[in-house]
Amino acid sequence: MNQRIWQVVALIPPGKVATYGDVARHAGLPGAARRVGYALRQLPAGSRIPWHRVINAQGRISLPAGTGGEYTQRERLEAEGVAFIGGKIPLRSYRWHPGAST
DNA sequence: CGAATGACTCCTT
DNA sequence: CAAGGAGCCATTC
């Protein structure tokens, strides 16, 4: 199941982001946004899963401060071209749409 | 099986 | 915009 979520997260294109709810929905788990966070938490350190492209519906980083994860995620996103406006990401522009790549 | 928890989301005030 | 409450699903004890 986690693999299911990781798979969806893995196909998120760079420079774009998706919300937990969106990932859950595309993973076939509508309403399981929490499951996404849970799965990402179980995500191995050596995984190639761009978990940093997953954020909450507020366009903000949900990672708990103290683990430094919030910092890493922001750094990675900015490195991919994602901008933090007012401390958050404008989902209106960066929200990932499956199949909308081309 | 029952109760508690969590990288969540939506609605109302 | 900020804060509070309820719903959601799976994992863990």
Confidence (pLDDT) at A69: 80
Asked whether the predicted pLDDT for residue A65 surpasses 90, the reply is no
Residue A44 vs residue A37, higher pLDDT:
A37
| Chain A 6..65 CB hits on strand C (< 7 A) | 29, 31-35, 38
Highest mean pLDDT among A23-32, A59-68, A91-100: A23-32
Confidence (pLDDT) at A70: 87
Could you tell me the domains of chain A? 2-94 (1.10.10.10)
Q: Smallest Cα–Cα separation from A11: which of A96, A70, A102?
A: A96
Confidence (pLDDT) at A74: 94
Distance A91 CA to C1 C1' (A): 17
